Amino acid sequence: MKKHLLLNRNQRSFPAVWQCLLTMLFITGLLMPAALLAQSTSTDSTKTQTIYSALPVKPKYPKVVGYLSFILPLETLTGGKFTPNFSGHTSSIGFPIGVNVLYSDSFGFSYEFTPTIKASGGTSKMSNLLFDPGTMFRFDHGFTIITRLAFETSGRYGFTPVFNQIYARTKDVNYFVALSLPARFGNSAASSLGLNLQIGFIFN
């Protein structure tokens, strides 16, 4: 009788242990997928954020930017004779102010006004106002070729090819330097070809 009772107790103890083990496995099985899913979602979200942050932000077009600068005539060829800017106690400096309308990474249009101040004989005055709109052909590394028309209040007109290079970039402005070759005609004067140096900055 005692043996039978002991046997029954042992038989009861095994199912209780197995029930505990099975219950723990069941609960663990229920919790594991949720943990794995949360970890996977978190990893995917981090990967997605990393991918999106790595993508470059493309500028929206059309884009309008303004710029300020000054320009120095270096040399002028008139009738086969070269005349430097600072000859005969006479010098000129211009202040080009403009707006660029950018239509793409490779093309834009520029509107520029340039008042010129001339100093001679101990006096100075505003001697000319130039309006020279033109098309912009934009290339890699900040290089741009601008083909401008030219209309001056002095009565002269013509065209000006400009070779522009951005040499420094900041968050707010880009700094540029340019060489231009102004060709001028009209107003009962000989045709001329000049070489100008322009330095300025473009607002971003």
Per-domain residue ranges of the chain: 1-55, 63-203
Q: What is the pTM of this model?
A: 0.71
Q: What is the pLDDT along the chain (204 residues), one digit of tens a residue?
A: 544 544 454 444 445 555 655 555 555 555 554 444 444 444 555 555 555 555 566 778 999 999 999 999 999 999 889 989 887 778 999 999 999 999 999 999 999 999 999 998 889 999 999 999 999 999 999 999 999 999 999 999 999 999 999 999 999 999 999 999 999 999 999 999 999 999 999 999
Structure token digits, residue 141:
């590394």
Domain 63-203 sits in CATH 2.40.160.20: yes
What pLDDT sits at residue 58?
75
66, 120, 128, 121: which is closest to 94 by C-alpha? Answer: 128
- DSSP letter, residue 142: G
Q: Is 16 helix (H, G, I), strand (E, B) or coil?
A: helix
